Structure 1
Amino acid sequence: MFSKMILFVVVTCWIGIVAAVDDDKDEIESLGVFEGENLTIAIHIKKSDKDPQVLVTRLGSSPEPIAQLICHNEDRSLKYWESGVSLIYDGENVTLILMNVSYNQTGLYKVCKLSDSPLENKIYNVTVYQAPLSTISSSVMYSESFPAGITSAILVLIILVLITGAIGVFYWKRSKVTSYKVSQNDDTAASSLRGSLTVIDI
């Protein structure tokens, strides 16, 4: 009875140690992507692994499988639990693609290479950023299309044209008012001359 208890304690401790070691082996890599873009993750496969087995899960309160690659005697099969997910295997690498990602896809993703010995896991901390405003993107596109020197030169030219136009309008209005006053004075002088003339009959 006592020996069984010792064996139980030893086995329990061994399982706990193995689980802790496996958690330490999980590498964590941070990735960032904007909403609406595609997120690509390359998963390297050993050359000696002729029939790779890859499982991708999303971690949370309960892990949710997303995609799986199963190879057997060089026959490949793919399984998907979510739309907008793609796995591509070219014989050396498995490429995971999350297409048109949304903000709610932010989280931890675990890639398990089940055929590796020892088992290899990697965790990706994915952050999906909200897409920038269209006004910001359009201004960025405009600034990228034209070098800074050209845009500043165009701005200065526009300002000069506006100032020149304003000065021209000002002087045009002033000259118009002056000519009107001159013509009005001429009419007054002419009428006064007509009033002062005396007609003499011979």
Structure 2
Amino acid sequence: MRQLLHSLYALASAERYLFTPEDLRGLLPELSDGAFKTLLSRADRSGLLRRVCRGLYVFEPAAPRDGLLLFHAAARLRANHFNYISLETALSDAGAISQVPISWLTVMSSARSSRIDCGRWGTLEFVHTRQQPADVAEHLQYDARCRLWRATTQLALRDMRATRRSMDLVAPDRMDGSSTDEPV
């Protein structure tokens, strides 16, 4: 445990505070698989390393308290796929829907659709899209704080229609999105 914590204190920062089991395994290659799993469980019980969801841990002493952990977790979990903040999250941030989703993040992703419970941090909802980055690039802006691309209101509305999400919460004056003929 001491070696793991020493390594994490040396490596972790406000930019690098989320770790996969593979990341952590690299710090302790001499441990057997069973001993490694026991160590992760012990580290979680100690409160220094917390399981966010399957396959992702937060090193609490380095974690910033800016409320962005769910965004960073989404970016980390689907790092090898095309992802962008859209649907209710993007519309809420733009003031286009009447309610703000609390502890719920909606992300369009080239990977499969899924909902991931991240415990006290909230829920990640990944919605599959067949759209290619080049097809929507003009409607995306990189959000460095969230470490994800973010859809414009126009693209988020188009995504809402294409995925057949309820439009009931969208403000009537903000319903001017483009056609839904695009593949999702």
Question: Which TM-score applies when normalising by structure 1?
Answer: 0.20
More strand by share: 1
- Indicate the structure (1 or 2) with the bigger Cα radius of gyration: 1
Q: Which has the higher contact order (CA 8 A, sep 6+)?
A: 1
